[in-house]
Structure 1
Amino acid sequence: MDLGLHGRTAMVAAATSGIGLAIARRLAREGATVAICGRDPDRLRDAVRELKELAHGAAHGTTLDVTDHTAVSAWVDEIATAHGGPHVVVANAGSPPEGGADRFGLADYRAALDLHLLSAVALTRAALPRMRAAGYGRIIFNTSLAARQPIPGLALSNTVRPAIVGYAKSLVHELAEAGERAVTVNVLAPGMTRTPALQAWADRLDGGLAGLSADIPLGRPAEPDEIAAAAAYLASSLAASTTGVVLPVDGGASRSLL
């Protein structure tokens, strides 16, 4: 199936491991020129080397922290100048610390908002004018199941992930009012996914990974490439009528009716 991504430029934030890297791999396999960023230069170098093999050299890496919003804007300008677009942007960041609501102070909540919500807003604001000019845009926010329902022991995530959905939904209608119908905005809401971060969390809990999987109807965490496949669809030309969606990829773990 041709997803219409050949010749497109895709930017995936925080993509040196886990779901971010899986999304970058999938987009590279679909023929997109893929640009990623990350804080660790060594991990970034390794990820870019892999992506170049998948995309026949059409991959680019930039060392930056997504909470540096000036650097994020400069990253978009750099990629647009070198490769065109961007046509696809995946806003992504690492998970906030675990813990209940009373564990954290105001500084912790501010840091979580900066890492997840404001980094996504900064990337979107920098990329959106380029997408309008290109006549093609796919904005994808990678969040978590916490965007749909609270997860015990993850108060920071429960607070900031739904805020991203509010921003995405607002953006959908503002784009429509402005006649910008070539740009779609969607939210990925992965559940438990077999990443190093999940394994580290499971190792600290009684019951381990099996215990975490007990409430998942499919009985297992998702694989990162399963999340990436959903992202590739949302990035594709086939998804031109899919916007404003919060798409769970969680093995049925979400109990929400809507």
Structure 2
Amino acid sequence: MDLGLNGKVALVAGGSAGIGLAIARDLVREGAAVSIAGRDPGRLAKARDEIRAELGAEVGTRALDVRDTAATRAWVDDVAAEHGAVHIAVANAGGPPAGPTGAFGADDYRAALELGMIAHIAFVQAALPHLRRAGWGRILLVTSETIREIIPKFALSGIVRPGLIGYAKTLVHELGPGDVTVNVLAPGYTATDALLADLTGDAEAETARVAAEAGIPLGRVARPEEVAAVGTFLLSARASFVTGTVQVVDGGRSLGM
């Protein structure tokens, strides 16, 4: 299936590993020019080399913290200057620490808000003028299933992330007619480095245990590429009438309507 992404220019924040890297790979396969950003230069170089070896293509890299608004804006503008346009913005960042509400102080809540909501919005605001200028754009906010269903042990995530739904839906109406869409991708338990780092023993057995404890009907956690496939579709020309949505990818765990 041709997703209509050949020649598009894409920015993927948090693109050095996990779901972000899997989305970047998909975009490269579809013929897009891709730049990935992340905090760790070593992980960025490893991701770049993996894509080069696997797909025979080059991706741009930029070491930055997405909470640094000026650095993020400079990345966006530099990529636009290099390629002549920006069409796709994937806002993605790590999540706040796990724990109940009482485990955190006011500064922890502020930090979670900065990472889980404000950094995403600032990145999108930096990219929007370029998307409007190009006359075609896709914005994807990568968050968590906690944006739709509260999981008490992930209190910070469930408190700060839902604001992105309000932002996305409001932005859709502000954008109005045209071909710029805004969607939210909400993964459930996924075999990313963050999840695997907390496990001991056989990874397959341990992730199956996590899935059972979480009540995932499919009996396993997601692979990053499975979540990325949904995100890449939302970024495609095929999804031209899909905007303002929250797409949960959780293996059927959520019971909400």
**TM (normalized to structure 2)?**
0.94
Give the corresponding residue for 2:15. 15
Corresponding residue SS for 1:130 = helix
| Residue 185, structure 1, aligned to residue 182, structure 2 | yes
- Mark the runs of 5 or more structure 1 residues left unpaired by the alignment: none
Cα contact 1:29–1:54 (8 A) shared by 2: no
Residue correspondence of structure 1 range 26-45 to structure 2 within 5 A: 26-45=26-45
Give the corresponding residue for 2:52. 52
How many percent of aligned residue pairs carry the same amino acid? 52
Corresponding residue SS for 1:255 = coil
Corresponding residue SS for 1:79 = helix
Corresponding residue SS for 2:61 = strand
Count of matched residue pairs = 252
- Cα distance in 2 between the residues matched to 1:249 and 1:2: 22
Give the corresponding residue for 1:170. 170
| Residue 251, structure 1, aligned to residue 251, structure 2 | yes
Give the corresponding residue for 1:213. 211
Deviation at 1:48, TM superposition (A): 1.4
- Cα distance in 1 between the residues matched to 2:51 and 2:9: 13
Residue correspondence of structure 1 range 1-258 to structure 2 within 5 A: 1-53=1-53, 56-176=56-176, 179=177, 181-203=178-200, 208-214=206-212, 215-257=215-257
Say if 1:121 and 1:45 are closer, same or farther in 2 by CA, change over 3 A: same
RMSD (CA atoms) = 1.6
Letter of the 1:218 partner, please give it.
L
Cα contact 1:31–1:55 (8 A) shared by 2: no
Cα contact 1:202–1:212 (8 A) shared by 2: no
Deviation at 1:62, TM superposition (A): 0.4
Corresponding residue SS for 1:225 = helix
- Cα distance in 1 between the residues matched to 2:84 and 2:231: 21
- Cα distance in 1 between the residues matched to 2:78 and 2:55: 19
**TM (normalized to structure 1)?**
0.93
- Cα distance in 2 between the residues matched to 1:190 and 1:174: 26
Letter of the 2:208 partner, please give it.
A
- Mark the runs of 5 or more structure 2 residues left unpaired by the alignment: none
Cα contact 2:28–2:57 (8 A) shared by 1: no
Letter of the 2:52 partner, please give it.
K
